[in-house]
Structure 1
Amino acid sequence: MKIIIAGAGAMGSRFGLMLHQAGNEVVLIDGWQEHIDLIKEHGLRANFNGEEIAEKIVIYHQNELETLNFSADLVILFTKAMQLDAMMQSIKSMVGDQTKVLCLLNGIGHEDVIKQYVPLSNILLGNTMWTAGLEGPGKAKLFGNGTIDLQNLGTEGKSSANEVIEVLNEAKLNARYSDNILSSIYKKACVNGTMNGLCTILDSNMASFGETSVADAIVESIVAEFAQVAAYEKAELNVPEVLAQIKTCYNRETIGLHHPSMYQDLIINNRLTEIDYINGAIVRKGREYGIETPYCQFLTQLVHGKEEILGAK
């Protein structure tokens, strides 16, 4: 399958690498020039479950696609939420009538942007519990296992997603169809809405945060706000199950020593975060629905304050 990975950061690198290794024709697209240059020079390098590897994968800057003759069967979106519209504009010449677009961005509401470029029948909305990190430009750190849940937004449903699921599973990405992806997205948003912002503000990995005496109380308060908004949108959210999922992030023997993507963006790479599309989205929806969201609002403000202090770009 001819696949575009739109956003070749940590997660895009993981998916691009695994799909490339499974024999697909993969093109990476990103906007970070140093990252692009090093991948072109050395290949995509990765610490892949303790093994150092490098794979030659084609990569382009999103602003140099005008002359690229590549018609994608599948686009997987991993760009930052605030960059989604610009990325869709950049790749639109490579998105045909039959191209499926799988959105795996963190946060809520991205389909509103994608449907301006792609019919609902070709949009696959999903979430993934895979993890990944960048040790620097051109070098990924990939460890552990994960899953993907996805749903077709058109009337064809599962039949329109089967080929994509098959390709993902051939790459050992553990994809499965969901009839209620909004619940899965809210469940993951709860993980991101706690681990990302809190570890970023506290300058901590997930295990160290989870071992604090205040972790449970803070997490429960944030998840309660997500659950109220999800209920208003008729998304089923099992709060005890969500809290149990979050607590698995604290395990030092699995992913607890991992720094979440928001920490990597802001603290390591001095980049603006996606807080407005995670906790900030809950604040906006809460205002619309008449739901109080003080914890999400405060955390959103703290992260924006941190961005300003660090001069993030």
Structure 2
Amino acid sequence: MKIAIAGAGAMGSRIGLMLHRAGNEVILIDRWAAHIQMIRDHGLRANYNGEDIVEHMQIYSPEEIDAKHESVDLIVALTKSMGLREMFEEIKPIITENTYVLSLMNGLGHAEDLAEFVDRDHIILGVTMWTAAMEGPGKVKLFGTGNIELQNLAPAGATFTKDVVQIFDDAGLNATYSQNVKYSIWRKACVNGTLNGLCTILDTNITGVGTTSTAAEMVQTIINEFALVAAKEGIELDQTEVYEHITATYDPAGIGLHYPSMYQDLIKNQRLTEIDYINGAVAAKGKKYGISTPYCTFLTQLVHAKEEILGAK
């Protein structure tokens, strides 16, 4: 299968590298000029569960995608949420009526944006629990294990989606076909809505948050706000299960020593975050439905204040 990874940051590099190593034709698309040049000159370098590997892969900036490029079967959307529309506007030359798009992005509401570029029958929603970290341009750290859940947005996309599940699973990505991916997206949003913002504001990793005396109350309150809003959209979150799932990540023998993507964006690289598409989205939906979301609202404000202090761009 010919696959484009739209957004070749840490997670995009992981997905692209694993699909490439499994024999798929993969192109990476990213905006970071130094990252692009390093991969062109030296290949994509990865510490892959303790082993240093190099994979030589095609990579382009969105501006370089033009009519001379062949269409692709699948585009995996892994941009930052605020850059999704702009990315897809620029890569239109590789999108045809036969192209499918898979969103593995953090946050909520991406299907509506993607429906402006492909038919709803060609949209696949997904959620991943894999982790990855950028160590510099052209270099990523890939550790631990994870999984991916996929489901077609519309019934007509089922056959192709199941093909994608098989291809991803063959690449070692532990992919499964979901019967309720929207629930899983909200569940993952709870993970991001607690760990991303708290790690960023508290300047620590996941274990660091989990060891604080206030972690239980903070995490449970945020989960409750997500659950109240999700219920208005037909998703009934199991708050106890979600809480237990989040607390399991505190283990330093697992992913506890990981710094979430929001931390990497803001604290390490002074880049704007996706907070408006996670806690901010819940706060906005809460306002729409008349539900109070003080923790999500305050955490969104704190992250934006931190962005301003650090001069994030």
- Normalised to the residue count of structure 1, the TM-score between the two structures is 0.98
1:156 and 1:169 map into 2 onto residues whose CA distance is 22
- Which digits, 9 at most, give the CA deviation of each residue in 1:49-97, with x for residues without a partner? 0001110010001111125422101110100000000111111110111
- The answer to which of 68-77 and 152-161 deviates more is 152-161
> What residue is the counterpart of 1:299 in the other structure?
299
2:92 and 2:155 map into 1 onto residues whose CA distance is 23
- Which digits, 9 at most, give the CA deviation of each residue in 1:266-297, with x for residues without a partner? 01111000000000000010011110000000
Q: Is the 8 A contact 2:123 2:157 kept in 1?
A: no
Matches within 5 A, 1:81-230: 81-230=81-230
2:81 and 2:296 map into 1 onto residues whose CA distance is 18
Identity in percent: 58
1:135 and 1:265 map into 2 onto residues whose CA distance is 12
- Which digits, 9 at most, give the CA deviation of each residue in 1:133-166, with x for residues without a partner? 1111111000111111111112225323111111
- The answer to which of 4-13 and 96-105 deviates more is 96-105
Give the letter for the 2:39 counterpart: I
| CA RMSD, 1 decimal | 0.9
For residue 217 of structure 2, give the secondary structure of its aligned residue in structure 1. Answer: helix
For residue 101 of structure 2, give the secondary structure of its aligned residue in structure 1. Answer: strand
Give the letter for the 2:57 counterpart: I
For residue 97 of structure 1, give the secondary structure of its aligned residue in structure 2. Answer: coil
Give the letter for the 1:218 counterpart: M
- Unmatched runs of 5 consecutive residues or more in structure 2: none
* Residue 99 (structure 2) pairs with residue 64 (structure 1): no
Matches within 5 A, 1:247-262: 247-262=247-262
For residue 26 of structure 1, give the secondary structure of its aligned residue in structure 2. Answer: strand
* Residue 240 (structure 2) pairs with residue 237 (structure 1): no
Aligned length: 313
Cα deviation for residue 181 of structure 1 reads 1.3
Change (3 A) 1:214 1:164: same
For residue 135 of structure 1, give the secondary structure of its aligned residue in structure 2. Answer: strand
1:77 and 1:207 map into 2 onto residues whose CA distance is 29
- Which digits, 9 at most, give the CA deviation of each residue in 1:76-121, with x for residues without a partner? 0100000000111111110111211100100000011100010011
For residue 272 of structure 1, give the secondary structure of its aligned residue in structure 2. Answer: coil
2:242 and 2:70 map into 1 onto residues whose CA distance is 41
1:95 and 1:298 map into 2 onto residues whose CA distance is 39
- The answer to which of 141-150 and 185-194 deviates more is 141-150
1:172 and 1:97 map into 2 onto residues whose CA distance is 29
2:11 and 2:78 map into 1 onto residues whose CA distance is 7
Q: Is the 8 A contact 1:105 1:127 kept in 2?
A: yes
For residue 161 of structure 1, give the secondary structure of its aligned residue in structure 2. Answer: helix
Q: Is the 8 A contact 1:81 1:105 kept in 2?
A: yes
